[in-house]
């Protein structure tokens, strides 16, 4: 892990150290490797590309299926003082879209979020060809697989656009992928040798317990007692 990456982690993102496989993933991406990453929701997947986007020489493009998620990510980065991130999606009017595309061409932005449908735009494909793209991130990568629970045809077409970004390394991220989906994602992208990194899904703050109840009234008593103990109320 480079000193620069560690400095950015502490001074910009406010974390004292990396969690789980984050450091290995960032090293792998920084070294020019492709990776499929499985980490739980809240496990720190976003840092695995947000931090490299500030270190790598070119632009990082993030394909994300949800406009609300893009807004949340960009606003979160701005709050941390990172102002070189933007998004292109249907929430923008024509003037805003033109302004952001011009900013991307000028080198104003290092991190660009787009919906998968944006790849179908000739104007956007022309933009991609004009940029030095270091990293292509595919968030919610299970959408690529026909065996995934949220398959989207536009994700399946990503492979046909990879030639527009010949220097870009690929980072596919998901919290949900069966072994079959894990095999299908690299094959669908034409990257069968991409490294697969699986983070721990252990959540020490969550647990399962079984309470034997004699009847519905007894079950209600157990529920109310647990709510009172946890101070959640009803």
* Model pLDDT, residue 28: 94
SS3 at position 105: helix
DSSP 115-175: -GGGGG-HHHHHHHHHS-EEEEEESSGGGGSTTSTT--HHHHTGGGGGGGSTT-EEEEEES
Least confident of 18-22, 41-45, 119-123, 148-152: 148-152
Q: Distance of CA 58 to CAs 7, 55, 82, 86, 108, Å?
A: 20, 9, 16, 15, 11
**What pLDDT is stored for residue 234 in this prediction?**
45
CA 12 to each of CA 4, 31, 81, 182: distance values in angstroms, whole numbers, following the listed order: 11, 22, 7, 33
**Judging by beta carbons within 10 Å of its beta carbon (0-12, 13-18, 19+), is residue 109 exposed, middle or buried?**
buried
Say whether pLDDT at 3 is over 70. Answer: no
Do residues 154 and 120 lie in contact, with contact meaning Cβ atoms separated by under 8 Å? yes
DSSP helix/strand/coil, 111: strand
Residue 120 confidence (pLDDT): 93
With 0-12 / 13-18 / 19 or more C-beta atoms within 10 angstroms meaning exposed / middle / buried, residue 93 is exposed
Higher-pLDDT residue of 10 and 232 is 10
pTM, full prediction: 0.83
Of 200, 197, 181, which is closest to residue 189 (Cα–Cα)? Answer: 181
| pLDDT for residue 204 | 57
| Distance (Å, whole) CA 30 – CA 135 | 9
Confidence band of 139 (pLDDT split at 50, 70, 90): very high
- From CA 211, how far away is CA 153, in angstroms rounded? 44
| pLDDT of 122 higher than 60 | yes
Residue 203: the pLDDT is: 55
* Mean pLDDT, residues 16-45 taken together: 92
CA distance 150 to 221: 39
CA 226 centroid distance within chain: 36
pLDDT 10s digits, 176-229: 888 999 999 999 999 999 999 987 555 555 666 788 898 998 888 888 888 887
Average pLDDT over residues 47-55: 95
Evaluate whether 38 touches 198 at the Cβ level (below 8 Å): yes
pLDDT tens digits, 75-90: 999 999 999 999 999 9
């Amino acid at each position: 892990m480079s000193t620069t990456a560690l400095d950015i982690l502490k001074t910009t993102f406010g974390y004292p150290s990396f969690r789980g496989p984050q450091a290995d993933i960032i090293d792998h991406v920084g070294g020019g490797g492709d990776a499929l990453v499985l980490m739980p929701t809240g496990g720190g997947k976003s840092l695995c590309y947000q931090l490299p986007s500030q270190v790598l020489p070119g632009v990082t493009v993030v394909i994300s299926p949800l406009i609300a998620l893009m807004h949340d990510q960009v606003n979160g980065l701005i709050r941390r003082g990172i102002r070189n991130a933007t998004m292109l999606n249907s929430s923008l009017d024509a003037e805003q879209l033109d302004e952001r595309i011009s900013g991307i061409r000028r080198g104003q932005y290092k991190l660009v979020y787009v919906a998968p449908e944006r790849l179908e735009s000739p104007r956007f494909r022309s933009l991609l060809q004009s940029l030095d793209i270091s990293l292509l991130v595919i968030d919610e990568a299970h959408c690529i697989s026909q065996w995934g629970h949220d398959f989207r045809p536009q994700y399946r077409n990503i492979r046909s656009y990879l030639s527009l970004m010949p220097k870009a390394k690929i980072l596919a991220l998901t919290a949900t992928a069966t072994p079959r989906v894990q095999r299908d994602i690299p094959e669908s992208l034409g990257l069968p040798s991409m490294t697969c990194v699986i983070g721990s899904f252990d959540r020490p703050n969550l647990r399962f317990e079984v309470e034997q109840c004699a009847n519905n009234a007894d079950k209600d008593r157990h529920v109310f007692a647990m709510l009172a103990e946890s101070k959640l109320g009803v």
